[in-house]
Structure 1
């Protein structure tokens, strides 16, 4: 229920939060009696080109576009930000821009400029995964609660990656201990065998001397 949906999931809490995001849009025609949708509007009606913000779920009708409104792609998904991501995607505080950046972007791909947006999401994620991988390889006690650089899916990746890295490091340490223990046992047995060999040699010499005396 609380895992990333990746695909629209009606019963996912995260999906509900994503589709509750308010998106800028404009009316495509006269909408009578819908003035209440814009709290700043005093008229009972909405005129064509009237700009307002509505939850994403309202702009979707069974995964299709609402015929009464045209969605305006948020600035963080526009070409201007694409250049910022391209310059240094790891520097951007993606979590601060939107907690569910990637999944919201996937929804918006259904609207205008979907192909360009999909490409931007892929390139940004591909570049930022490298930084997340480096973070996982240098696991620390850093608290990500206030870290605005990572959005929700990236936090999931970081937590899984850092856990795997720690498990691997623990396994290496345990293996190293086992190897050292094995070496100690081997060396002990070797020394014991050498002592036994020395005792046997001494015994043989003692027996030989005894025979010569007789």
Structure 2
């Protein structure tokens, strides 16, 4: 699995997949000869206010001075869902809502006029990281492939966290074994020394008795 790309990266497969996401949009003017952009449109042209979905990479490449389309923020990043996340973000199936929830949201912040989306992403991540930490501390053989609760970045955090937790547990176990082995060796040497001392004392007693 590739590492997440927090900034646009032309050679990142993950970034390519994220920017391929189709986003709700509407035409800002009559667009001649662009009817093919909407597979459900039978006409050759697109009229102003026509609703369609376009890949994010196309919307990012628009001329900001004279855009042809206006991006519509998807519902999962709106205020309505913000209340759901605020109620209990840990139970939301982010992976089901969108596989690349956080990274797509960071891209969409560019089209948001306020800071609501950015703060929602931060608050949601902050709340959910607690659950991921608990999962890492209770590493099991659970297969996350069918788990819709975690999105892409959260899966990476879980895998890194569970691996670190396992390494730490193995280290503690190895240290415990080494300490126990050291104690056994020390006790064995002590017993052997005591036995030698007893033999020496017995030997001296025998010599005195024979005199």
2:15: which partner in 1?
15
Q: Would the aligned equivalents of 2:26 and 2:69 in 1 still touch at CA under 8 Å?
A: yes
Aligned length: 211
The answer on 1:189 being equivalent to 2:184 is no
Q: Would the aligned equivalents of 1:108 and 1:114 in 2 still touch at CA under 8 Å?
A: no
1:32: which partner in 2?
32
Distance 2:63 2:162 in 1: 36
Q: 1:47 to 1:128 in 2, by over 3 A?
A: same
Shift of residue 23, structure 1, vs aligned partner: 0.2
1:17-59: CA deviations, max 9, x gaps? 1111000011111111111111122222212111111000110
Distance 1:48 1:171 in 2: 64
Distance 2:66 2:157 in 1: 34
1:141-161: CA deviations, max 9, x gaps? 000000000011100000010
What residue ranges of structure 1 are gaps of 5+ in the alignment?
none
The answer on 1:54 being equivalent to 2:62 is no
Distance 2:99 2:125 in 1: 14
Q: Would the aligned equivalents of 1:136 and 1:161 in 2 still touch at CA under 8 Å?
A: yes
Distance 1:152 1:16 in 2: 14
Q: 1:102 to 1:43 in 2, by over 3 A?
A: same
What residue ranges of structure 2 are gaps of 5+ in the alignment?
none
2:89: which partner in 1?
89
2:107: which partner in 1?
107
Alignment partner of 1:32: what SS? coil
Q: TM-score, normalised by structure 2?
A: 0.95
The answer on 1:177 being equivalent to 2:177 is yes
Q: 1:16 to 1:53 in 2, by over 3 A?
A: same
Distance 1:126 1:113 in 2: 23
CA RMSD of the aligned region, Å?
Answer: 1.7
Shift of residue 65, structure 1, vs aligned partner: 8.4
